[in-house]
Structure 1
Amino acid sequence: MNKNPKMIAGIAGLAVMLILAVVLATYMIPTIGEVRREMSLTPTPLPPVPGSVRAAGYVEQDTPEPALGTGSRGDKVTRLQERLKALGYYDGEIDGQFGQGTQEAVIAFQMKNGLDADGYAGEKTQALLYSDEAVRNDNEE
């Protein structure tokens, strides 16, 4: 029988690949099983369907507003500037850009309302700013 060297090399290559596949599978199968087990122990809770029995005790939580600071732009900044102006803290142009004037107005609001005056309109600042408890700025010029 004539032994072809290319055929022997091909068989050897397949044998090596088969051995690697078996070794890899030996390591991966337990890992996959562990991941599946972990996922089954910590399911992701889903909010109940409105009107269902589960919905009766479910309280939907508001998502906190993202902090606004220098460089922020858009409708949320425009709304912030309008509210600061209505309360007498902001006298600049309402342009939807959080610049130095907006930052100074936020700091003044925070100081007057007993918040940490950091110049960022974070969750606490925005919650108080848009509430009925917001203190007006009586030092309007």
Structure 2
Amino acid sequence: MKKNPKVIAGIIGLMILAVLAIVLATYMIPTISEVRREASLTPTPLPPAPDTIRENVYAVVTPEPALHNGSQGEKVTKLQERLQALGYYEGEVDGQFGPGTREAVVAFQERNGLDPDGYAGEETQKVLYSDLAVPKGN
């Protein structure tokens, strides 16, 4: 029987691959075993307890509601005082958001590059109470 060189080369190639697979397995089996051991030692994180969930829900900061015509109270008083300090509000500080307060808010918004809608929403209040607020006279 005549020996085919291609068959012999194929058999030699398979033998080399088999040897490489055995060598690789020799190195990988301990590594895989160590990874499995480490994984078994790592605790599985537990979901948060119901009390923790409830605390997190209450910890979420909700934006302040917009102050507008008809709003009243301490927040409006604070708004009027700040607008007055910046020169926009000239009326009586009474805690009542009326036409005069609305006009002052619109003027402030226009001067400070905000949407002049007359509502003292989150963005308007953020600028109003910051050091970036531009006074009426400047």
- TM-score computed with the length of structure 2 as normaliser: 0.57
| Equivalent residue number for residue 123 of structure 2 | 124
Deviations 1:76-109 (A, max 9, x none): 1000000000011000000000010000000000
Deviation at 1:45, TM superposition (A): 3.3
2:132 matches 1:138: no
Q: What secondary structure sits across from 2:81 in the alignment?
A: helix
Deviation at 1:61, TM superposition (A): 5.2
State how 1:87-102 maps to structure 2 within 5 Å: 87-102=86-101
Q: Identify the match of residue 46 of structure 1 among 41, 51, 54.
A: 54
The structure with the larger Rg is: 2
Deviation at 1:131, TM superposition (A): 0.8
| Equivalent residue number for residue 65 of structure 1 | 64
Q: What secondary structure sits across from 2:117 in the alignment?
A: coil
Deviation at 1:117, TM superposition (A): 0.1
Deviation at 1:67, TM superposition (A): 0.4
- Deviant stretches of 4+, over 6 Å: none
Q: Which range moved further: 91-100 or 62-71?
A: 62-71
Check 1:136–1:61 CA distance in 2 against 1; reply closer, same or farther (3 A cut). Answer: farther
- Uncovered stretches (5+) of structure 2, i.e. residues with no partner: 1-49
Q: What is the total number of aligned residue pairs between the two structures?
A: 87
| Equivalent residue number for residue 78 of structure 1 | 77
Q: What secondary structure sits across from 1:46 in the alignment?
A: helix
Identity %, equivalent residues: 67
State how 1:4-23 maps to structure 2 within 5 Å: none
For 1:89 and 1:62, how far apart are their aligned partners in 2? 29
Check 1:132–1:62 CA distance in 2 against 1; reply closer, same or farther (3 A cut). Answer: farther
Q: What secondary structure sits across from 1:125 in the alignment?
A: helix
- Uncovered stretches (5+) of structure 1, i.e. residues with no partner: 1-42, 49-59
| Equivalent residue number for residue 109 of structure 2 | 110
**RMSD (CA atoms):** 2.2
